[in-house]
């Protein structure tokens, strides 16, 4: 599940997805934990980080991520697999290199803490326009829907 997830929708998807890519609040993590417990599943999640601190995007500020992870690491029905970010749309992909580098550094710093239930094995960053730079900076997962399916038609 990629994209902003409303808490009232968690019950419908918690046992139907391979991973939730956009956990950005304690209340959402708590809801995922409760719904996953009801369905007796464990859900891998990524923590969404708003590295560029864009007003129009969801996600935690980088300095909020470690305290947040420490707060939810003991939940028994979620597994924290890593971090994700959505970098700003730019014409020149190089402009996002520092964003990706910062997320990678945060991931390495968190992994070094050896927190139970936290692996930092997934670094989801980069989209069609900048995925090559993201991979160079450590992405293990990229989102290239536009490259595969073409641009969205918002007129429909």
SS3 helix, strand, coil % of the chain, rounded to 5?
Answer: 40, 20, 40
pLDDT of residue 1: 44
C-alpha distances in Å from residue 139, one per residue of 55, 56, 85, 98, 123: 24, 23, 10, 13, 5
pLDDT of residue 156: 65
d(CA 145, CA 137) in angstroms, rounded, equals 20
The model's pTM: 0.89
pLDDT means per 10 residues in the chain (156 residues)?
Answer: 71 92 94 96 96 86 97 97 93 94 97 96 91 95 80 74
The torsion angles phi and psi of 74, rounded to 5 degrees, stand at -85, -5
pLDDT of residue 56: 78
Contact partners, residue 8, CB within 8 Å, separation at least 6: none
Could you give the count of Cα atoms lying within 13 Å of 66 in the half-sphere of its Cβ?
Answer: 13
* Residue 19 backbone class (left: φ over 0; alpha: ψ -120 to 50; beta: rest): beta
């Amino acid at each position: 599940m990629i994209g902003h997830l409303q808490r009232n929708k968690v019950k419908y998807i918690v046992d139907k997805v391979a991973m939730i890519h956009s956990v950005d609040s304690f209340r959402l993590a708590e809801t995922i934990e409760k719904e996953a417990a009801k369905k007796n599943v464990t859900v891998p999640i990524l923590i969404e980080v708003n590295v560029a601190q864009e007003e129009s995007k969801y996600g935690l500020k980088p300095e909020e991520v470690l305290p947040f992870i420490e707060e939810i690491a003991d939940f028994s029905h979620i597994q924290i697999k890593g971090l994700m970010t959505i970098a700003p749309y730019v014409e020149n992909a190089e402009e996002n290199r520092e964003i990706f580098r910062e997320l990678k550094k945060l991931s390495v710093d968190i992994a070094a803490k050896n927190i139970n239930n936290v692996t930092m094995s997934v670094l989801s960053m980069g989209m069609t326009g900048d995925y090559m730079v993201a991979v160079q900076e450590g992405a293990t997962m990229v989102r290239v829907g536009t490259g595969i399916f073409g641009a969205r038609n918002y007129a429909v």
